[in-house]
């Protein structure tokens, strides 16, 4: 990844770094946040992983090992499927799944979150966020079901992977993973749509202190947070 941008907000006592495989205005990126004086977080059991598409998982794993990276699952087919995957862990314990795919404009391709009721979550993300259910796969042998949600095909866009483990209705979310951010043309209309779909608004629409970009924030039925960011304000922030 490349370091795309870094900003320090001393009055709010935090620093951000934005990393990804292309410009923020056209790619999904990871936002790393350092809160002054805090050196450890609890990731919890609800957050799953970030997904990265690579053309050769085995070769990528070898490169990661050579640079001192931690591999937690060696390359091989996914349980219940044929896609070759591997898992790695960053220095803070966040997991990344490497997925073997052809060339893609969006290598940072997914975020996986565990949910307690898959149909409820699918319904929420379709109605409140306007996402599409791209595919759903049940793996009874391994007692889990996944649903891929997003705004376009998986091979060209970042998607949200929702995972339901049979019989598990609640997860400890910890305090490390924060949120997904999504662009919108109108944060005020978005907040209204979320309210109408039964979502819980945790930050009413308006400008962020110290930055002035308009945002709104909400929780899904499992308590996962998403932030919607005004597209025009965001582009000004990048200039």
Provide the annotated binding site.
110, 161
Name the 3-class secondary structure at 15.
strand
* Numbered residues of the known binding site for Zn(2+): 110, 161
User: Is position 97 annotated as part of the catalytic site?
Assistant: yes
Residues 6 or more apart whose Cβ sits within 8 Å of residue 195: 201
* Local structure of residue 202 (DSSP, 8 states): E
The residue annotated as part of the active site, out of 12, 74, 97, 170, is: 97
Residues 6 or more apart whose Cβ sits within 8 Å of residue 16: 5, 6, 7, 9, 31, 32, 33, 34
Active site members: 97
């Amino acid at each position: 990844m490349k370091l795309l941008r870094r900003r320090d907000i001393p009055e709010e006592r935090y620093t951000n770094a934005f990393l990804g495989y292309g410009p923020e205005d056209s790619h999904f990126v990871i936002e790393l946040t350092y809160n002054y004086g805090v050196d450890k977080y609890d990731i919890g059991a609800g957050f799953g992983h970030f997904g990265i598409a690579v053309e050769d998982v085995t070769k990528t794993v070898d490169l990661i090992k050579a640079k001192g990276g931690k591999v937690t699952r060696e390359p091989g087919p996914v349980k219940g499927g044929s896609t070759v995957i591997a898992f790695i862990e960053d220095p803070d314990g966040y997991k990344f799944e490497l997925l073997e795919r052809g060339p893609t404009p969006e290598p940072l391709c997914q975020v996986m979150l565990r949910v307690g009721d898959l149909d409820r979550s699918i319904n929420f993300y379709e109605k409140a966020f306007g996402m599409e259910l791209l595919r759903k796969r049940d793996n009874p042998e391994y007692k889990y079901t996944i649903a891929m949600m997003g705004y376009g095909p998986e091979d060209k866009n970042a998607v949200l992977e929702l995972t339901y483990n049979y019989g598990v209705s609640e997860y400890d979310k910890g305090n490390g993973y924060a949120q997904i951010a999504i662009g919108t043309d109108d944060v005020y209309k978005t907040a209204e749509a979320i309210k109408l779909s039964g979502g819980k608004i945790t930050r009413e629409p308006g400008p962020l202190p110290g930055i002035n970009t308009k945002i709104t924030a909400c929780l899904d039925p499992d308590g996962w947070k998403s932030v919607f960011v005004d597209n025009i304000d965001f582009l000004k922030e990048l200039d």
